[in-house]
């Protein structure tokens, strides 16, 4: 945590894009300008710092973006920034523009980048932006609600054709290391079974057996929700069809879950995060990760935030298992 007057800041989005990032950028820019700070937008994440792809932003730079998905600053992965030389180059470009602190919007990987940038004397404040909701220091991350609602809409559409053919639909949703999207979507659509990385399942014992049991009770169609980190929808559908004799079709929702206009919840959360980031910087408080706990804004030291662990509420799976018959 630093104590200094900060007059020029930068903002970037890093890692996977998430609906609501634009609302956060807007809040950062306009909050900073209201405090007579100068704001610089960095394009393409940490790559933009390396390549000096930086421009000053003004009030109108963020007009008509609060409702748009994606990120107007663009985003990218940056292997070069992982090197000490890359970090030094990024810091030098910050100093070239007089940028005294950065606001970093992204996930855990982005926060580790912020820690490295801070080590090069460019302090940072981080905002959690990831559809996976897997940042431990916060109950909620930008993009999570929109991604779930998009997935819900897609599965509801799939249900129509599934009902017409009495088949099993295996739907793969995002969540490489965390099953938050899958667990909630499974419960929301009444999936027969939900598969998440936190609780591996046996296809024969936990899925096929339940399908056969519920079929005897008159059920003719089945929805299986699987997080991408827990298995492949294509392989699972093939195995289910071979073992159950019921036609099974895989559907991978993929990056459609990252797109679309952000929901009210994402716009509000992102705006609160962006405003709070500037509030902290205006007080000379840096090297923090902002979060929401019980809907209250909180912030933690970056090291502390990165050391925290977050657990999926497996009771969601238990509830679904009881009701999905």
pLDDT of amino acid 2: 42
Mean pLDDT of 75-88: 92
Distance, CA of 252 to CA of 173 (rounded, Å)? 7
pLDDT of amino acid 4: 62
Confidence of residue 299 (pLDDT cuts 50, 70, 90): very high
What is the residue-wise DSSP string for 146-188?
Answer: HHHHHHHHHHHHHHHHHHHHT-EEEEEES-SS--HHHHHHHHH
Mean pLDDT of 62-87: 94
| Average pLDDT of every residue of the chain | 93
Confidence of residue 85 (pLDDT cuts 50, 70, 90): very high
Question: Half-sphere exposure of 38 toward its Cβ, with a 13 Å CA cutoff?
Answer: 11
**Does residue 40 have a pLDDT over 50?**
yes
Nearest partner of 22 among 127, 94, 95, judged by Cα: 127
pLDDT of amino acid 196: 95
Per DSSP, helices labelled H in 248-314 are: 264-282, 302-307
pLDDT tens, position by position, 198-228: 998 889 999 999 988 988 888 888 999 999 9
Beta-ladder partners of 251: 171
- Contact between 178 and 198 under an 8 Å Cβ cutoff? The reply is yes
pLDDT tens, position by position, 95-133: 999 999 999 999 999 999 999 999 999 999 999 999 999
Structure tokens at 12: 């970037």
Percent of the chain with pLDDT over 90: 83
Nearest partner of 113 among 17, 49, 70, judged by Cα: 49
pLDDT of amino acid 167: 83
**Does residue 83 have a pLDDT over 80?**
yes
Structure tokens at 277: 């980031």
Mean pLDDT of 54-74: 96
Cα 312 versus chain centre, distance: 15
**Does residue 290 have a pLDDT over 90?**
yes
- 59-75 in b/e burial notation, b at 16+ Cβ within 10 A? eebbeebbebbbbbbbb
Mean pLDDT of 280-285: 96
pLDDT tens, position by position, 146-177: 999 999 999 999 888 777 777 899 999 998 88
pLDDT tens, position by position, 253-273: 989 999 999 999 999 999 999
> What are the start-end ranges of the E strands in the chain?
8-13, 38-42, 54-57, 101-106, 124-128, 168-173, 193-195, 222-227, 248-252, 288-293, 296-301
Distance, CA of 222 to CA of 168 (rounded, Å)? 5
What is the residue-wise DSSP string for 181-214?
Answer: HHHHHHHHHT-SEEEBTTB---IIIIIIHHHHHH
pLDDT of amino acid 1: 40
List the catalytic residues. Answer: 132
pLDDT of amino acid 162: 74
| Sheet bearing 222-227, strands edge to edge | 193-195, 222-227, 168-173, 248-252
**Does residue 9 have a pLDDT over 50?**
yes
- Contact between 131 and 146 under an 8 Å Cβ cutoff? The reply is yes
Neighbours of 145 (CB within 10 A): 23
pLDDT tens, position by position, 166-206: 789 999 999 888 999 999 999 999 999 999 999 988 899 99
């Amino acid at each position: 945590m630093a104590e200094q007057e900060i007059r020029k800041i930068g903002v970037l989005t890093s890692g996977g894009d998430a609906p609501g990032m634009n609302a956060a950028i807007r809040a950062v820019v306009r909050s900073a300008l209201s405090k007579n700070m100068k704001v610089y937008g960095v394009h393409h994440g940490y790559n933009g710092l390396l390549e000096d792809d930086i421009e000053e932003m003004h009030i109108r730079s963020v007009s008509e973006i609060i409702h748009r998905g994606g990120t107007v600053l663009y985003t990218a992965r940056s292997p070069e920034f992982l090197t000490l030389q890359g970090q030094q180059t990024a810091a030098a470009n910050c100093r070239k523009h007089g940028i005294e602190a950065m606001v970093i919007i992204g996930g855990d990987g982005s926060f580790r980048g912020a820690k490295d940038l801070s080590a090069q004397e460019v302090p940072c404040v981080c905002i959690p932006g990831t559809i996976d909701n897997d940042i431990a220091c916060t109950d909620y991350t930008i993009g999570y609600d929109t991604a779930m609602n998009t997935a819900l809409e897609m599965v509801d559409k799939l249900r129509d054709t599934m009902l017409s053919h009495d088949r099993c639909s295996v739907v793969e949703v995002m969540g490489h290391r965390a099953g938050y999207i899958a667990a909630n979507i499974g419960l929301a659509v009444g999936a027969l079974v939900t598969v998440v990385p936190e609780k591996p399942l046996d296809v024969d014992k936990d899925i096929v057996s339940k399908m056969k049991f519920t079929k005897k009770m008159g059920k003719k169609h089945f929805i299986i929700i699987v997080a991408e980190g827990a298995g492949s929808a294509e392989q699972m559908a093939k195995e289910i069809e071979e073992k159950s004799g019921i036609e099974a079709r895989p559907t991978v929702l993929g990056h459609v879950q990252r797109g679309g206009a952000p929901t009210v919840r994402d716009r509000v959360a992102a705006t609160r995060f962006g405003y709070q980031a500037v509030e902290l910087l205006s007080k000379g408080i840096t090297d923090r990760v902002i979060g929401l706990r019980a809907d209250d804004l909180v912030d933690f030291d970056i090291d502390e935030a990165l050391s925290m662990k977050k657990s999926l509420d497996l009771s969601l799976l238990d509830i679904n298992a009881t009701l999905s018959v």
